[in-house]
Chains A and B, each alone.
Chain A
Amino acid sequence: MSGGNDTLSMRLSPFQKIYLLLVAGFIVGPFLPVIIQSLAFRWAWPELLPGTWWLEQREKSMLPLAWDYVLSPYSRVWEATVNTVFIGLVVTAICLAICLPVARLLARESFAGKSAFEFFLSLPLIVPEAAIGIALLMIFIRMGLAGTYAGIIIAHLIPTIPYMVRMLTAVYQGLGRDFEEQAMILGARPLQILWRVTLPMLLPGVVAGALFTFLVSTNIFLLTFFLGQGQVITLPTLLFSKISGGNLDTTAAGITLIVTLPGIILLIISERFIKEEAFGKGFGS
């Protein structure tokens, strides 16, 4: 990091540095009050900083109030976290399975109605989530899927598939047919080709797409709220129920920080995972 800072200060003008700092502040800024809040004992309006910090009152509570609540079974944070991660993983896996063949077709074949298909594919990004949610709820109640994991997973696939297809199509376009044909001639069956040739070569795109899908899924509130019917809670719905009263108290701040954890952990893992060196560089041509 220090090396990066050196080049930063060497090459950038003061204006450019201020500009970057502003953007960084804009992104990181909103987290600050949440972090402060989670460590406060009492933080009432109009104080700029908490009137009483947890550290001053530590004989009254072993942990900061927020964390004490979050870690207690009453908060249902553990249950919501498990649900969120489970739903996210299943959605990602199903999304990959659906999108790989679609991306392959879009990248390699031209067929009548291809551009229309691509347009329809982006519809879920245009139509408001609430409209999709209401429509799905009407169907799912009749099918008995409302309030079930299956219902939520299906609902999460709708906004994630368009992103995944786009990302995978881009990486498929960079993968010539030669490699799979060569594997076929060498005697590999379709599943062996997928597992040993296609997926490893598509890995950067697959990881990026999977990461993105997982993050979107773990952040979806409205669809989960509609279709979960309060029976399946995830971190976003739990958070919303906490803050819906309008007051951001310390416990809500704690949950907010927990909500961001899966994404941050995943981001760090994938950063280590998609290393160009692991690929031995270049794609043959």
Chain B
Amino acid sequence: MTQVRLNSVRKQFGNFVAIENLDLDISSGELVALLGPSGCGKTTTLRMISGLERPSNGAILFNGKDVSEQAVQDRNVGMVFQRYALFPHMTVEKNVAFGPSVRGESKAEIARRLDEILEVVQLTPFRTRFPAQLSGGQMQRVAVARTLITKPSILMMDEPLANLDTKLRVEMRRFIRDLQQRLGITTIFVTHDQIEAMELADRVAVIFDGHLAQYDTPERIYRYPRSLDVADFMGATNIYPGKVLSRNRVSTALGEIDCLHQDDRSVGESVQVLLRAEALDMSTGPFTSEGSGMRGRIKARDFFGASVTYRVACNDQEIDVTENARRMRDVGDDVHLQIAPEQVWLLSG
């Protein structure tokens, strides 16, 4: 069980600042995602935690102990690379046994742990194959096994689900989640895909341009993003400029909307109003003007299988509404939109 702490870590390559004063606390046994667009510094952060890069300033602490100057080999961390980096000239067995073997474990001990870990990742029948003879999912399980056999105190993964097709993704997600909970190992992974981050992580650290934009649970980051950038990156589409009218009412181009009071907002302040597409209720019944009711007409429809997203024209504005696909509406239908006050989120604008 290892707790990780980054203390105002900074990393500079020449004139380029990859990471600027990053503070991050990861509890032991937690599964944390570092999320951000490519080039935001998330991979650099992971490499600094692993020891492949040294921070220019600041400190990295494992269980309160500064490891910033410790060599990679002495940190006892594990890393699964995006392309798995399986050694092509070694069989599955040899790949998995590499760690204990270079650490000078006894032959008997290696054999015992090898059998055990191959059973865990269900690769026993493939032990004499070469990496090129494996599927993507099998290669990833070899990479995970090769890392876990060294009993790392921290497990790191670079885009763990990126190279897998949809069906395998679900399977690997469950596999990683189960394994992580069973072993209680502190896990950090890097991704540019907000869905992957939400699917897997206990907490998500959103990083933009080397700065930590928000660090919270997936649900809170999705519902209550702290900035427009975060909201945008988490896939929010309905964001409208507005003005706070009273403690729990805000005006926008769509009309006046009820909201819950947010402590840091004052009456008269200009804000950005975020309405999540799936939080809007759409109906065709008789229109009641109370609450946050808005009238509109469906302009377009995108079908995603389980869900369907409508583009609704409303007071010269357009708004996306996502519904369960059990019931389909047609383009041109007149609809009423309503949103519960607790689903409305105000961002400083």
User: Could you tell me which A residues sit within 8 Å of B by CB distance?
Assistant: 176, 178-179, 181-189, 192, 196-197, 200-201, 203, 278-285
User: Could you tell me which B residues sit within 8 Å of A by CB distance?
Assistant: 50-52, 72-73, 76-79, 81, 83-89, 91, 98-99, 102-103, 130-133, 146-147, 150
- How far, in whole Å, are A184 and B84 apart by their CA atoms in the complex? 14
**Nearest CB of A to B269, in Å:** 49
| A184-B88 CB under 8 A given contacts A280-B132, A284-B131 | no
Q: Do A285 and B83 touch (CB < 8 A)?
A: yes
| A187-B99 CB under 8 A given contacts A280-B130, A282-B132, A285-B83 | yes
Instruction: List chain B residues, Cβ under 8 A from A192.
Output: 102
Instruction: List chain A residues, Cβ under 8 A from B81.
Output: 178, 181-182
3 nearest A-B residue pairs (beta carbon) = A280-B130, A178-B85, A186-B99
Instruction: List chain B residues, Cβ under 8 A from A283.
Output: 88
Instruction: List chain A residues, Cβ under 8 A from B83.
Output: 176, 178, 284-285
Q: Which of A186, A187, A280 contacts B133 (CB 8 A)?
A: A280
**Nearest CB of A to B260, in Å:** 47
Q: Do A188 and B73 touch (CB < 8 A)?
A: yes
Instruction: List chain B residues, Cβ under 8 A from A284.
Output: 83-86, 88, 131
| A179-B89 CB under 8 A given contacts A186-B98, A187-B73, A189-B102 | no
**Nearest CB of A to B123, in Å:** 16
Q: Do A189 and B131 touch (CB < 8 A)?
A: no
| A282-B99 CB under 8 A given contacts A184-B52, A187-B73 | no
Listed residue (B51, B89, B132, B133) with the most chain A CB atoms within 10 angstroms of its CB: B89
Instruction: List chain A residues, Cβ under 8 A from B87.
Output: 179, 183, 197, 200-201
Complex: chain B residue closest to A178, CB-CB: B85
Instruction: List chain B residues, Cβ under 8 A from A282.
Output: 88, 131-132
**Nearest CB of A to B190, in Å:** 14
Known: A186-B147, A280-B91. 19 other contacts (CB 8 A): A179-B85, A181-B72, A181-B81, A181-B85, A183-B87, A186-B98, A186-B99, A187-B76, A187-B150, A192-B102, A196-B102, A201-B87, A279-B88, A279-B89, A280-B133, A281-B130, A282-B132, A284-B88, A285-B83
